[in-house]
């Protein structure tokens, strides 16, 4: 939308209203993380700013377009809207974006079939001319998260939007993540040149190897190559699709003795948030005992040469394929990341290779489920795949079930299973949010359009027979057997049959080297039940901690007129809503103020002061005149007596 | 083939519902499907 008045500040104040489902709150915070990674837009809990976004559970999913300067600007994430791309879509509206197909040049790219549109819904296919809406010199985007799908407002089964290039017919309407052009437009509109959480991405395509350096303290070097006889045959970035390109870094362990090391260090990096996620692919064509160690070199005033700290030892690297790894870091000072290849015992005919490094100040997924030979699975009938068992940080055991049976959609479900800690855990399982991500394996984290869904365990949810859905699997689950023959109990699954369509699954880089990765995170989000404003993630590992004290303090305080309770120095305080010319005040936001009141007070004060001054002046004049009159009359009396006496 | 109800609960009930489907099913007639106009004509 054209007009600077519609822009928000780069840090948008927000409130997550209590009406929101807990799963929705978690999803919204995850959506904010995508903005922080890929744009210069950040979000902060509202602390009294004139205008803020109030996210609540209304009827449906909707938003206004742009900053309306109304103080509290509502954005609804209602039932079934708690999907990350839906939240991204609604916030793009709030940031000033219309739908992609309402562009002035829309008819050059798609045909709207008017007689297939539901009667009375034709207005949903409006076009804005270029004096109202600016496409910011970005081409029409079929893959925009702001585009409708072909079935929008149809009155039958035939598409209402037909793309002029037929290959895009099933592309429009994606709800995975920002497209490249979405980001280009957003970053142009808000003059973005950097983001809060992105640090570096390197696919080693250029000879400068992204400014990485070979350490001088080691005995061997990493080589910049595009192919190794013993493997890999090609890099991970392009998978051999581009001739004369596709490079990676290689440490030849076959040419060195046991114990020899080669260290490759990144350029200097400057952290902002204090927690990082390092992601990269490794290929091993050497010995099974070769390993890679990840170090950080942190520079401080007392250690200008940098302190080298071992962060992770990676052993048993699979032979003969690229494998994805994540390493969590917590660095608060300027630093480098170092990859150390170590020649282990045993014979080696090849070596270790690294490619597609990404470093960001985000949280790493807790688990990676790698599914190999995926194309074969996708084409086979009765394809049901179950992940290995995993444990959440709280100790709950779980398993993921991927259903490939449908010819159009892929389903994904989360199951609680019996585990070693079940006797110590709370049942029914309360408020654990499972986030399942199908990874788009684009080499650059900023260009990925990963498909993500989250579900949350509600301890009050019941089955048809009255039993608790998330109760202990050994109580409510059914018996199942792992491939190794171990028997266990599996609870009922919760998820979606429409996780992703087959057509989208084979697009992008979801399947790469015939591998698919499902990233899994299960975290306790019960703290989001609190009405306290959620703090930004901080350097400590416990990112979101409104604490039970916050909950207790606020449970005794009721803020009026839409005020929000927050805890400051262990005391509950009400943050009162305010607009441009009005505000609420008082301990409980019980009093209303406005600029009109101020004007009245100022005028009244002025008039009062004027009146008092006038009274004082009049009294002073009266008293002075009276005094001089008295003096004058006594002088006259004395003068007449003198004269009498003289005569 | 749908997964039997006894094994899993499908939050999407077998269909992919987009934003405008959700709003339409609720009987909402929002501008362009999911845009709320705060003041008459201000956004447009």
Contact B3 A403 (CB under 8 A): yes
Among the listed ranges A25-39, A385-399, A436-450, A607-621, which one has the minimum average pLDDT value? A607-621
CA A284 to chain centre: 33
Q: Quick check: A99 contacting B, CB < 8 Å?
A: yes
Q: What is the pLDDT of residue A355?
A: 98
Give the range among A14-18, A70-74, A624-628 with minimum mean pLDDT.
A624-628
Cα nearest neighbour of B30 on chain A: A62
B44 or A263, higher pLDDT: A263
Selecting among A17, A90, A205, A340, the annotated active-site residue is A90
- C-alpha distances out from residue A547 to A30, A281, A535, Å: 20, 38, 11
In the prediction, which pLDDT does A571 show? 67
Contact A60 B34 (CB under 8 A): yes
A125/chain B closest Cα distance in angstroms: 7
How confident is residue A592, by pLDDT bands cut at 50, 70 and 90?
confident
Q: Classify the C-alpha dihedral A511-A265-A326-A36 as positive or negative.
A: negative
pLDDT digits (tens, 9 = 90+) for A114-132: 999 999 999 899 899 999 9
Predicted ipTM of the assembly: 0.89
What is the mean predicted confidence (pLDDT) over A386-405?
A: 97
Tell me if A405 and B23 make a contact (CB, 8 A cut-off): no
Q: Report how far residue A191's alpha carbon sits from residue A40's, in angstroms, rounded to the nearest whole number.
A: 8
Dist CA A615 CA A621 (whole Å)? 10
Q: Which residue of B has its CA nearest to A464?
A: B6
Please write down the long-range contacts of A52-55, taking CB distance under 8 Å and 24 or more positions apart. A52/A12, A52/A13, A52/A14, A52/A15, A53/A12, A53/A13, A53/A14, A53/A15, A53/A91, A53/A94, A54/A14, A54/A15, A54/A17, A55/A14, A55/A15, A55/A16, A55/A17, A55/A20, A55/A28
Mean pLDDT within A633-638: 61
Chain B closest-CA separation from residue A443 CA (Å): 29
Mean pLDDT of A217-233: 94
Contact A123 B31 (CB under 8 A): yes
The verdict on a CB contact (< 8 Å) between A495 and B10 is: yes
Enter the tokens of residue A182.
């979405």
Kindly indicate the confidence band of residue A457, based on its pLDDT and cuts at 50, 70 and 90.
Answer: very high
Q: Which pLDDT band, with edges at 50, 70 and 90, does A593 fall under?
A: confident
Can you tell me whether residue A426 is helix, strand or coil?
coil
Please report, for residues A427, A482, A570, A630, A638, the alpha-carbon distance to residue A624 in angstroms, rounded to integers and kept in the order given. 90, 108, 62, 10, 22
CB contacts of B31 in chain A (<8 Å) are 123-124
pLDDT at residue A379, as a whole number: 75
Could you tell me if A357 and A297 are in contact, meaning their C-beta atoms sit under 8 angstroms apart?
no
**Segments in chain B forming alpha helices (H):** 19-25
Residue of A nearest to B2 (CA): A406
Please report, rounded to a whole number, the percentage of residues in chain A having pLDDT higher than 70. 89
**Among chain B residues, CA nearest to A86:** B19
Q: Do B16 and A89 touch (CB under 8 A)?
A: no
Q: What is the model's pLDDT at position A630?
A: 73
**Assigned token pair, A94:** 């709030």
Question: Strands A42-45, A11-16: parallel, antiparallel or unpaired by DSSP?
Answer: parallel
Q: What is the mean pLDDT of residues A185-211?
A: 97
Interface contact A95, partner B, CB < 8 A: no
B34 vs A63, A173, A498: nearest CB: A63
Q: Quick: pLDDT tens for A345-371.
A: 999 999 999 999 999 999 999 999 999
Report the C-alpha gap between A296 and A282 in whole angstroms.
18
Are residues A281 and A356 in contact, defined by beta-carbon separation less than 8 angstroms? yes
Given a cut of 70, is residue A609 above it in pLDDT?
yes
The burial class, CB within 10 Å (0-12 / 13-18 / 19+), for A49 is middle
Residue from B4, B5, B16, B23 whose CB has the most chain A CBs within 10 Å, to mutate: B16
B34 to chain A: closest CA residue: A62
Residue A624 has pLDDT above 70, yes or no: yes
CA A588 to chain centre: 32
Residue A539 pLDDT:
30
Q: Which residues contact A548 (CB under 8 A, 6 or more apart)?
A: none
With tokens 């010199």, the residue in question is: A137
For residue A374, is pLDDT > 70?
yes
Confirm or reject contact between A413 and chain B (CB < 8 A): yes
Residue closest to A27 by CA, chosen among A637, A389, A427, A452: A452
Only one residue has tokens 């010819």, namely A407
Residue A601: its pLDDT value, please?
77
Q: What is the mean pLDDT of residues A254-271?
A: 97
**pLDDT score of A546:** 30
- Closest chain B residue to A493 measured between Cα atoms? B8
Residue A6 scores a pLDDT above 50 = yes
Decide if A74 touches B, using CB distance below 8 A: yes
* Joined tokens for residue A301: 């005033």
Q: Is B39 exposed, middle or buried (0-12, 13-18, 19+ CB in 10 A)?
A: exposed
pLDDT bin (cut points 50, 70, 90) of residue A162 is very high
Smallest Cα distance from A324 to chain B, Å: 30
A341 touches chain B (CB under 8 A): no
Q: How much is the pLDDT for A216? A: 84
The mean pLDDT value for A107-111 works out to 97
Structure confidence at residue A418 (pLDDT): 98
Chain B residue numbers with beta carbons less than 8 Å from the beta carbon of A1 are 43
Average pLDDT over residues A109-114: 97
pLDDT in tens, A477-495: 999 999 999 999 999 999 9
| Cβ–Cβ gap A495/B11 under 8 Å | yes
Q: What percent of chain A has pLDDT over 90?
A: 78
Q: Does A31 touch chain B (CB under 8 A)?
A: no
State the count of interchain CB pairs (< 8 A) between A and B.
127
Query: Facing residues of A592 across strands?
Result: A584
> In this complex, do B15 and A66 lie within 8 Å of one another by their Cβ atoms?
no
Kindly state the average pLDDT of the residues A294-310.
96
Band of residue A558 on the pLDDT scale cut at 50, 70, 90? low
Work out the pLDDT band at A541, boundaries 50, 70, 90.
very low
Q: Which residues of A617-635 are buried (b: 16+ CB within 10 A; e: fewer)?
A: eeeeeeeeeeeeeeeeeee
**Does residue A536 register a pLDDT over 50?**
no
Return mean pLDDT, chain A.
Answer: 90
Residues of chain A positioned with their CB less than 8 A from the CB of B22: 60-61, 78-81
Report the range of poorest mean pLDDT among A46-55, A183-192, A194-203, B27-36.
B27-36
A190/B7 Cα distance (integer angstroms):
47
- Work out the average pLDDT over A24-48: 98
Relative to beta strand A261-265, strand A335-342 is: antiparallel
Whole-number pLDDT of residue A646: 38
User: Is residue A340 flagged as an active site residue?
Assistant: no
Q: What is the reported pLDDT for A570? A: 59
User: What is the per-residue pLDDT for A551?
Assistant: 40
Neighbours of A546 (CB within 10 A): 19
Q: Is the pLDDT score of A32 beyond 60?
A: yes
Lowest mean pLDDT among A99-103, A227-231, A470-474, A591-595: A591-595
* Chain B residues contacting A via beta carbons under 8 Å: 1-3, 6-12, 14-20, 22-24, 26, 28-39, 42-44
pLDDT tens-digit series, residues A82-96 = 999 999 999 999 999
Residue A569's pLDDT is: 55
- pLDDT, position A631: 72
**C-alpha distances in angstroms, A107 versus A104, A125, A126, A221?**
8, 11, 11, 56
Q: What pLDDT is attached to residue A225?
A: 96
Averaged pLDDT for residues A49-62 = 97
CB contact under 8 A, B44 and A63: no
Write down the residue that tokens 């650059």 correspond to. Answer: A444
Minimal C-alpha gap between B44 and chain A (Å): 8
Q: CB A175 to CB B37 under 8 A?
A: no
Mean pLDDT in residue range A563-592: 66
């Amino acid at each position: 939308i054209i007009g600077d008045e519609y822009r928000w500040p780069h840090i948008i104040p927000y409130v997550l209203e209590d009406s929101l489902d807990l799963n929705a709150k978690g999803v919204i915070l995850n959506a904010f993380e995508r903005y922080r990674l890929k744009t210069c837009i950040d979000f902060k809990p509202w602390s009294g700013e004139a205008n803020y976004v109030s996210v609540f559970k209304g009827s449906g999913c909707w938003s206004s377009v742009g900053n309306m300067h109304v103080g509290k600007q509502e954005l609804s994430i209602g039932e079934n809207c708690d999907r990350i791309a839906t939240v991204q879509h609604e916030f793009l509206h709030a940031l000033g974006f219309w739908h992609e197909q309402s562009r002035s040049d829309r008819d050059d790219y798609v045909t709207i079939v008017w007689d297939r549109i539901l009667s009375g819904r034709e207005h949903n296919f409006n076009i804005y001319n270029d004096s109202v809406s600016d496409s910011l010199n970005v081409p029409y985007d079929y893959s925009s998260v702001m585009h409708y799908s072909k079935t929008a407002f149809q009155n039958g089964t035939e598409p209402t939007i037909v793309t002029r290039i037929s290959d895009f017919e099933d592309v429009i309407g994606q709800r995975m993540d920002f497209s490249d052009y979405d980001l280009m437009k957003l970053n142009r509109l808000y003059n973005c040149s950097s983001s809060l959480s992105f640090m570096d991405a390197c696919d080693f395509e250029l000879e400068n190897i992204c400014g990485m350096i070979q350490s001088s303290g080691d005995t061997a070097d990493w080589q910049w190559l595009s192919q190794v006889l013993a493997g890999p045959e090609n890099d991970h970035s392009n998978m051999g699709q581009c001739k004369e390109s596709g490079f990676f870094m290689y440490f030849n362990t076959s040419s060195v003795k046991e114990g020899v090391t080669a260290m490759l260090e990144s350029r200097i990096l400057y952290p902002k948030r204090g927690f990082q996620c390092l992601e990269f692919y490794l290929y091993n064509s050497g010995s099974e005992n070769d390993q890679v160690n990840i170090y950080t070199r942190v520079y401080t005033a007392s250690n200008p040469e940098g302190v080298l700290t071992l962060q992770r030892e990676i052993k048993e690297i699979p032979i003969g394929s690229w494998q994805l790894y994540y390493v969590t870091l917590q660095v608060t000072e300027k630093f480098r990341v170092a990859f150390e290849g170590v020649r282990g015992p045993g014979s080696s005919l090849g070596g270790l290779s690294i490619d597609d490094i990404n470093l960001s100040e985000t949280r790493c997924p807790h688990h990676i489920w790698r599914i190999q030979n995926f194309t074969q699975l996708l084409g086979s009938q009765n394809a049901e795949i179950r992940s290995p068992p995993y444990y959440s940080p709280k100790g709950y055991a779980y398993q993921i079930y991927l259903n490939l049976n449908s010819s159009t959609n892929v389903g994904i479900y989360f199951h609680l299973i019996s585990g070693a800690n079940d006797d110590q855990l709370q049942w029914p399982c309360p408020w654990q949010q499972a986030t399942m991500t199908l990874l788009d394996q684009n080499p650059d984290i900023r260009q990925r359009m990963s498909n993500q869904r989250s579900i949350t365990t509600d301890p009050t949810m019941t089955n048809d027979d009255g039993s608790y859905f998330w109760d202990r699997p050994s109580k409510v689950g059914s018996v199942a057997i792992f491939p190794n023959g171990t028997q266990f109990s599996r609870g009922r699954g919760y998820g979606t049959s429409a996780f992703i369509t087959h057509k989208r699954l084979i697009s992008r880089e979801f399947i790469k080297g015939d591998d698919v990765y499902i990233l899994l995170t299960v975290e306790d989000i019960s703290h989001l039940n609190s009405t306290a404003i959620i703090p930004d993630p901080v350097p400590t590992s416990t990112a979101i901690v409104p604490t039970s004290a916050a909950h207790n303090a606020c449970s005794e305080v009721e803020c009026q007129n839409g005020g929000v309770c927050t805890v400051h120095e262990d005391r509950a305080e009400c943050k009162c809503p305010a607009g441009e010319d009005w505000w609420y005040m008082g301990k409980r936001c019980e009093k209303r103020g406005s600029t009109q009141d101020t004007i009245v007070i100022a005028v009244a004060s002025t008039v009062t002061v004027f009146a008092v001054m006038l009274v004082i002046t009049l009294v002073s004049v009266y008293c002075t005149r009276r005094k001089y009159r008295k003096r004058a009359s006594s002088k006259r009396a004395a003068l007449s007596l003198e004269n009498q006496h003289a005569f | 083939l749908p997964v039997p109800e006894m094994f899993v609960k499908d939050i999407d009930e077998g269909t992919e519902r987009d934003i405008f489907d959700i709003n339409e099913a609720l009987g909402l007639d929002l501008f362009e499907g999911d845009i709320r106009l705060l003041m008459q004509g201000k956004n447009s």
